[in-house]
Amino acid sequence: MNTVEDIEYDTNYSLVDTHWLLLYDDHRDQTGPSIAVEVAHAHLLKFIRTYHTLPDCQQHIRNNRQKTIKLFITNNKLVDWDNNADASDLDLKKLYIYCNTARSFADMKRWNGCYQDKIEDVFMYDELNYRLVYVGINHANEASKIFETNAGLYRKCLEDARRLCDALSDKFQKKKDMIDIKLSEQSTQQ
């Protein structure tokens, strides 16, 4: 099973001077058991820079103020972020929050802490892979536009976007097949 730990950042995406896609996920300081979040397409998510400590993630954002930054973050880490007085000066474009319980999902839907106007989406942890792939398609396409004069990087970004589209296509085809099976079973029972 692939997890967040298996995402390997491709430094070519650091050359994009307009935007970044970050993922902050750290369960090391969590008390009690932690959920291993499956990221089946980790091998395709080369454009996502992952962070495992709050100070490192925040420092990266401070050092790149000129970039549009989209951040995926767990609900409990957003609370830590909100409680960190130094976080208020960070400029984030969009936040994508993933939750590990139905209760935290409901709480985040009503969140009124920091960056409430930046929250793009709140979802359960088991949707993280899908959301990363979906958002990643646009991210890779945007990156390709930056590299139009560099044929190699332009092609690489477009190929990354195509592979992500293929991954989503496979996922939806499997869902469609499951629905077809259920419909077929239902029609034979009548």
What does the pLDDT look like over 129-163, one tens digit per residue? Answer: 999 999 999 999 999 999 999 999 999 999 999 99
Region of 115 on the Ramachandran plot (φ > 0 left; ψ -120 to 50 alpha; else beta): left
Q: Residue 190 pLDDT > 80, yes or no? A: no
Compute the mean pLDDT over every residue in the chain, rounded to the nearest whole number.
Answer: 87
Residue-number span of the structural domain to which 80 is assigned: 4-189
Report phi then psi at 37, rounded to 5: -85, 120
Domains of the chain: total: 1
Least confident of 15-29, 43-57, 154-168: 15-29
Q: Is the pLDDT of residue 13 over 80?
A: yes
Amino acid at 145: K
